[in-house]
Structure 1
Amino acid sequence: MLTILGHTVSINVRKVLWTCAELDLPYTLEAWGGAGPATATPSFLALNPNATVPVLKDGDLVLWESNTICRYLAARYGNGALLPAAAAPRAQVEQWMDWQATDLNSAWRYAFMHLVRRNPAFGDAAAAEASVQDWNRRMAILDGQLARTGAHVAGAAFTLADVVIGLSVNRWLLSPITRPALPAVAAYHERLLQRPGFAAHGANGLP
């Protein structure tokens, strides 16, 4: 049995939960962070020195970093689902996963922390507006990619790239910002809504 340490408000925990749903993997969710026990404790830091969620325990294996956990689960239990075995298509999936974790996350972080989390460390309204503009530019890049594929982020098939980016699309749509019309992103979101895993862990009212 897999054990996932975290809480369901976390977008990064929800990546892992959605991956488990797509692969039909049973797991136990152990509450940490959020309303659960603090992660800055010796027992948690022994698992993840960054004091962040999620953490995955699979037997003796302990992993942190949500995209790495998702890759592991697909490689270990997916039988080719979500993450291709061949080098070229796998690299295409992973490049979009890396884009989500670096370019896209960096774009929305300030705006989200200012407008949604109301974190006082992100109190500069001008910086938040610049973050919104950068966020929208990155989403336009995604719109262009989805217009080219006509289906999913990395091509015709649903993959891990859609798990991590689908949650980011949900965050973009639910955040109180001015958004441009991105028709390919809108159509993509409608397709994701047909997936039970997205309904449970993506389009569940949480940004």
Structure 2
Amino acid sequence: MLKILGKASSINVRKVLWACAELRLPFEREDWGTGFRLTTDPAFLALNPNAMVPVIQDGDFVLWESNSIIRYLASQYGGQHLYPAGPRLRAGVDQWMDWQAADLNRSWSYAFMALARQSAAHRDATAIDASCQAWAHCMGILDQRLAQTGAYVSGAAFSLADIPVGLSVNRWFLTPFDKPRLPAVAAYYDRLSEREGYRQHGRNGTV
């Protein structure tokens, strides 16, 4: 059986849990990370030298990096409806997954740590404001895209890209600061919440 290593509150572990829910894929999960077994344990480092969750073990196959994991799971376990084989359709999914990882994540990092996590190391007011503005800019791009599709980030159908983006949208709404009105994003948040996997692992009160 598929084994997932990582605590369920981690946003990157939640990507994998949500993907498993969409694929109806059974798994076992072990708690690793802050508050549980440390990822600096030699047993964990032997699987992922970066000491980061999640890691999966699928038989003798080991994989880390959350976006790579969910791409693998969709490809391995009948998830063509989430991650199509056609190069152009697949590229559209990959585009938004990569945008979330590279641009959206980077924009909210400082503000989230300051405002949601209350990190003592993130108290620079100028940096917080800059991060909030960058985050709002990226979310404006997402709002425009969702207004175009009227549904999901890569088009009319739910895809693998909606998993990382949807988790970031949850984080957007649960981080306390003044936000611009983004009606397409708000509608998307509610649309995703119709999915059991998102209710369990996305819009579940966890940021």
TM-score by length of 1: 0.98
Deviation (angstroms), 1:155:
0.2
CA drift of 1:123 comes to 2.3
Number of the residue aligned with 2:194: 194
Distance 1:125 1:49 in 2: 34
1:122-152 per-residue CA deviation (whole Å, 9 max, x = no partner) reads 2212101110110000000000000000010
Separation of aligned partners in 2, 1:145 and 1:68: 24
The ranges of structure 1 where at least 4 consecutive aligned residues each deviate by more than 6 angstroms after the TM superposition are none
Indicate conservation of the 8 Å contact 2:146/2:153, yes or no. yes
Q: Which moved more, 1:35-44 or 1:194-203?
A: 35-44
Aligned to 2:10: 10
Gaps of 5+ in 2: none
Task: Output the CA distance in 1 between the equivalents of 2:86 and 2:4.
Answer: 28
Report the residue type matching 1:177 in the other structure. F
The aligned amino acid for 1:149 is: T
SS at match of 2:121: helix
CA deviation vs aligned residue, 1:10-56 (integer Å, no higher than 9, x gap): 10000000000000000001110132111111111111111110001
**Amino-acid identity (%):** 60
Paired with 2:120 and 2:78, the residues of 1 have a C-alpha distance of 42
Q: What root-mean-square deviation, in Å, do the aligned CA atoms of Structure 1 and Structure 2 show?
A: 0.8
1:167-186 pair list within 5 angstroms: 167-186=167-186
* Equivalent-residue separation in structure 1 for 2:132 and 2:61 (angstroms): 38
SS at match of 2:204: coil
Alpha-carbon distance in structure 2 between the residues aligned to 1:172 and 1:191 = 16
**TM-score, normalised by the number of residues in structure 2:** 0.98
Check the 8 A contact 1:9/1:34 in 2, yes or no: no
What is the CA–CA distance in structure 2 between the aligned matches of 1:14 and 1:36, rounded to whole Å? 16
Q: Does 1:89 align with 2:82?
A: no
Secondary structure in structure 2 of the residue aligned to 1:120: coil
Q: State the one-letter code of the partner of 1:151.
A: A
SS in 1 for 2:167: helix
* Distance in 2, Cα, partners of 1:167 & 1:2: 22
Q: Which amino acid aligns with 2:173?
A: L
User: Which SS does the other structure have where 1:121 is aligned?
Assistant: coil
Q: What pairs with 1:27-46 in structure 2 (closer than 5 Å)?
A: 27-46=27-46
The Cα shift of 1:158 comes to: 0.4
The alpha carbon displacement at 1:84 in A equals 0.5
Change (3 A) 1:79 1:104: closer
* Shift, 1:79, TM fit: 4.2
The DSSP-based 3-state class of the residue aligned with 1:28 is strand
How many Å apart are 1:120 and its aligned residue? 2.5
Q: Is the 8 A contact 2:13 2:53 kept in 1?
A: yes
- Counting only pairs closer than 5 Å after superposition, residues 28-67 of structure 1 correspond to structure 2 as 28-67=28-67
On the 8 A contact 2:23/2:79 being kept in 1, the answer is: no
- Asked if 1 retains the 8 angstrom alpha-carbon contact of 2:74 and 2:83, the reply is yes
Amino acid at match of 2:32: W
Give the counterpart letter for 1:25 in structure 2. L
Q: Residue 40 of structure 1: SS of its match in structure 2?
A: coil
- Taking the aligned partners of 1:86 and 1:114, their CA distance within structure 2 comes to 41
Structure 1 residues without counterparts, runs of 5 or longer = none
Q: Would the alpha carbon gap of residues 79 and 167 (structure 1) be closer, same or farther in structure 2, given more than 3 Å must change?
A: closer
Amino acid at match of 2:118: R
After superposition, the Cα gap between the structure-2 partners of 1:81 and 1:99, relative to the gap in structure 1 and judged at 3 Å, is: same
Contact 2:73 2:79 in 1 (8 A): no
